[in-house]
Every structure is written in structure tokens, then in C-alpha cells.
Amino acid sequence: MSAANRIVTSNAIITMDDDALRVEAIAVDSRSGKIVAVGALSDLRDAHPRAEVVDLGCDVVLPGFIDPHSHPLFSGMVCMEPTHWIAPYVGYGTHDDVTALKIWADGSPWVGNIAATYPYLDNETVHAAGIAVGPTRESALNYTPAELDDLLDSFSDDDWQFAVHMNGDYALDVVLDSYQRELTRCALLGTDHRWRVKHVGGARKDQFERAAKLGVAVSMAPFQFLYWGDVLDGTLFPHRIGSQWQRFADAVDAGASVSFHNDGSVSPPIPLRNIQAAVTRHTFSGEEHGPEQRMSLDDALRAHTVVAAQHIRRPDLGSITPGKRADFTVLSADPYQVDPARIEKDIEVRGTWRDGRALDLDAFDQQIRDFAGRTELLEKMLTRLASSASKRGRSRSADSADETPAESTTDSPTQPSEESPAETPAS
């Protein structure tokens, strides 16, 4: 590896690497974008005497936060330019470059189409949402077990990674059954296949235990609990189900590999908000639900860093480790020194580093403002064009009415021409 040209130091550096959880400094090569070494500042200075030293003062450095499940096309329609600026999406060259497949096993709890063994409650809110009362089971599955088996069988031999969306416990049983059959057929049990289940809002602890035994990665959705937890608990579902939605503690205790995601752009990509929800079990309103499902801060941070990187098969990301990419998040305070209930309020994201370089956040903010201005201008232009087109349409209609010929007085029937509207078939 080449020599470092930059050494980063700060009040605290939390690496998320079990071999060295906290270090004093990081040596990076911004030309390759890689981390060269970590350790004491004096040692790194001696090893790389020509490197520039960047002292971030009282700030705290962590690995760059990762969201392992989002929808870049849909999200990009909302904020493509600034998003592309901060994290360029190169995309796939050809279909042959695609090596992962997402499958929807069921739907969403607030839509009423998750495949679950527990019931939707009989109340005004559920009726107003047009949701059928009672358990849904197989009626809400998007695939029969046989269809899911066939789908996995079509791609598993090519080392594809599968990621299946489900929220209901019935759907998760079906998916795990299918995974087990296919993993066995392909001799992948016990390997690092990283097939995933996603969301798993209404999953049970025994299902997390089974996923762990199969080596199935579990990507959880704190945003479901955070934004909908109040209505899930006792309104949509019985308390025994709703209060336990997103069983963070059960998943970790079961030995499952757990990451967090925001399902962009379903919810704002704010990792610190997800982490706070997971360690406190407080919803956005401040209400507490299922405190026994709190997870540790260690596990919550890992879910948005090193484990998230593992789930998307990016061994070059997720921790501050020599050889990995020099992608960092710079925070105003140490998460371990802050009241868990105030993580989002008391910790500010001060900076983002990519490939050993600090991003210019002022320029990023200005680009957002410029983009918003261009969007507003475009909307005004489209409005004017639509108005102008409407006026021209009304003018042509009026002219046509003025030029309408008088009704024929001949006694013989008039044969319509081929261009007569009376004979033109509807398109």
C-alpha cells in the first residue's frame, strides 16, 4: 500500500473494528482513497513524516454511515443532483453486472396486506383504512411457496444474493422455508452467502433464531417503529404484537446479523434518529413501546456501519480499518457520552469524508438551494406552457365552431368520407 499523504486526528475516533475500537489517529492515502494505518498520532507521524495532519479538534470520527436498503431511482427523482454530487451512482454496465435480486413476499402493515398469523383489530381506524379485520395468512402472499422456490432456483446457481421484503410472520416462515430448501440444494448452508430478509416488522424471536442458524442476514426497519409505532400498538394490532414491532433485542439475542435501513425515500435517511429509536424504544411522539426490545448502542451503531457493509457485500466499507476506504462521519459529540434519549438533538453531523477527503458541505448546501431554485423555475415554466396550451386549445375550438358548415338540405343521404369523425374508430 502507498504511503499516507494525510493523517486525521480528533478528540475521539471510534473505529467499529473489534481489534482496535478507539484510536488516536488515522493515516490515509487520498489518492487511492484507502486507510493506510491507525494508531497513536506520534507513531503515524514517524511512519509518514510528509503527511498533512488534519486535527478535527473536539469532533468525533466514526465510519461512514451506510443504508443497506433504499430505492435510488425513486429517491433520485426527488433529489438526484445533490445526492449524485455527494455519492455518485455509477450504476451497472449490463444486466450481467447485476448480482442481487429483491423479492416482495408481502406488503405493508398500514396498507393491510402483510401475511400474518395475528389479526388486524376491529376498530374505526382499521375500517377507515379499508383494511380487512382478522389474520391474513396466505391470502396476502405475493407468491405461493412453489413460486418462490422456482424464483430462487432460477438465480441461485449464479451466486446471486437474495433480499426478500416481508413484514408479517407468516410471510417470514414461508421465506425461511424456501431459503432453507434452496440453500440445502446449493450446498450453501454454513457459507457466507448473505441472503437477506428485510423489514421483518412483525417477526417472532424464534424466527430470528432460525435465520441466524441459516446464516440469513436480517435488515431491520427502525423507521416503522419510529413513525408508526403509536398506531401499530393497540390500533392496528393487539398490544402483544404492536408493542413488539421491530424486535431489536430479540434479533440480536438470537445471534442474527442485524443491519438498519430507511427504505429511501420512505423515510428520511437519518441514521442517528434510527439509532436513538433502537436504544430507547421511543417513537417520534416520545411514547415508549416495548422497552424490553431496546438494543445496546454498540449493536445500533454496528447496524448502520460494519454490519450494513457486510450485508451489501462491501468488505471495503463499514469500519476504520487499514485497507478499507477512508469514508468517515464526523460528529459533534461522542454517542457514548450522550443521553440516549437525546442522541439526535445533542449530536450534530459536522462532516462527511469520502475516500480520504472532506466533502465541502457548504457547497453541497448551496447546490441544494440552486437545485430547488431550478426546480421552482421549471415548475413555473411548465405551468405557463400548460396555460398557454389550454388557451390555444380553447381558441381552436372557437374557430372550429365559427367555421362549421350549414346543415345539408339535400334529400339524398350524405355518404361520410373516410376522414369523417363519424367513421373514425376510437384510439
133, 231: one domain:
yes
Answer yes or no: are the C-beta atoms of 5 and 31 closer than 8 Å. Answer: yes
List the 258-260 sheet strands across, edge first.
Answer: 100-104, 161-166, 196-199, 217-220, 258-260
127, 229: one domain:
yes
89, 198: one domain:
yes
pLDDT band at 398 (very low <50, low <70, confident <90, very high): low
Distances (CA, A) of 163 to 217, 299, 369: 9, 21, 36
Spatial separation of the C-alpha atoms in residues 32 and 177, rounded to whole Å: 44
Most distant CA pair in the chain, distance: 110
What is the predicted pLDDT for the residue at 366?
77
> Has residue 400 been placed in a domain?
no
> Has residue 188 been placed in a domain?
yes
Answer yes or no: are the C-beta atoms of 350 and 59 closer than 8 Å. Answer: yes
Please check the confidence at residue 408 and state whether its pLDDT lies above 80. Answer: no
Dihedral sign for Cα atoms in the order 125, 127, 129, 131: positive
pLDDT band at 361 (very low <50, low <70, confident <90, very high): confident
What is the predicted pLDDT for the residue at 393?
58
Please check the confidence at residue 288 and state whether its pLDDT lies above 60. Answer: yes
313: left (phi over 0), alpha (psi -120 to 50) or beta: left
Q: Round the CA-based radius of gyration of the chain to a whole number and report it.
A: 28
12, 143: one domain:
no
17, 76: one domain:
no
> Has residue 408 been placed in a domain?
no
Please report the DSSP string for 320-383 in residue order: --TTSB--EEEESS-GGGS-GGGHHHH--EEEEEETTEE--HHHHHHHHHHHHHHHHHHHHHHH
Of 111-115, 265-269, 394-398, which gets the smallest average pLDDT?
394-398
How many domains are there within the chain?
3
286, 267: one domain:
yes
Mean pLDDT, range 120-141, rounded to an integer: 96
Mean pLDDT, range 381-403, rounded to an integer: 60
> Has residue 144 been placed in a domain?
yes
Please check the confidence at residue 392 and state whether its pLDDT lies above 50. Answer: yes
100, 50: one domain:
no
pLDDT band at 397 (very low <50, low <70, confident <90, very high): low
Q: What is the mean pLDDT of the chain?
A: 86
Examine the fold and report which residue of 359, 385, 417 is the final residue of a domain before the chain moves on: 359
Please check the confidence at residue 424 and state whether its pLDDT lies above 90. Answer: no
Query: In this structure, what C-alpha cell is assigned to residue 302?
Result: 454496528
190, 283: one domain:
yes
pLDDT, tens digit, 9 for 90 and up, residues 296-329: 999 999 999 999 999 999 999 999 999 999 999 9
Please check the confidence at residue 93 and state whether its pLDDT lies above 60. Answer: no
Mean pLDDT, range 266-290, rounded to an integer: 95
What is the predicted pLDDT for the residue at 423?
33
Share of the chain above pLDDT 70, in %: 80
What is the predicted pLDDT for the residue at 386?
65
pTM (predicted TM-score)? 0.82
Mean pLDDT, range 199-214, rounded to an integer: 98
Share of the chain above pLDDT 90, in %: 73
What is the predicted pLDDT for the residue at 412?
37
Sole residue written with cell 417470514: 172
Mean pLDDT, range 59-83, rounded to an integer: 74
Q: Angle at CA 307, nearest 5°, toward 70 and 210? A: 95
Query: In this structure, what C-alpha cell is assigned to residue 292?
Result: 424490553
CATH number at residue 28: 2.30.40.10
Q: Is 257 helix (H, G, I), strand (E, B) or coil?
A: coil
Dihedral sign for Cα atoms in the order 207, 150, 104, 87: positive
59, 195: one domain:
no
Neighbour-count burial of 191, counting CB atoms closer than 10 A to its CB (0-12 exposed, 13-18 middle, 19+ buried):
exposed
Spatial separation of the C-alpha atoms in residues 384 and 24, rounded to whole Å: 59
Of 183-192, 359-368, 402-411, which gets the smallest average pLDDT?
402-411
Mean pLDDT, range 269-295, rounded to an integer: 97
pLDDT band at 120 (very low <50, low <70, confident <90, very high): very high
pLDDT band at 84 (very low <50, low <70, confident <90, very high): very low
pLDDT band at 67 (very low <50, low <70, confident <90, very high): very high
Q: Which among 289, 169, 272 has a CA at the least distance from the CA of 229?
A: 289
175, 268: one domain:
yes
Could you tell me the residue range of the domain that residue 272 belongs to?
72-315
Please check the confidence at residue 34 and state whether its pLDDT lies above 70. Answer: yes
Q: Which among 264, 265, 292 has a CA at the least distance from the CA of 278?
A: 292
What is the predicted pLDDT for the residue at 17?
98
Please check the confidence at residue 284 and state whether its pLDDT lies above 80. Answer: yes
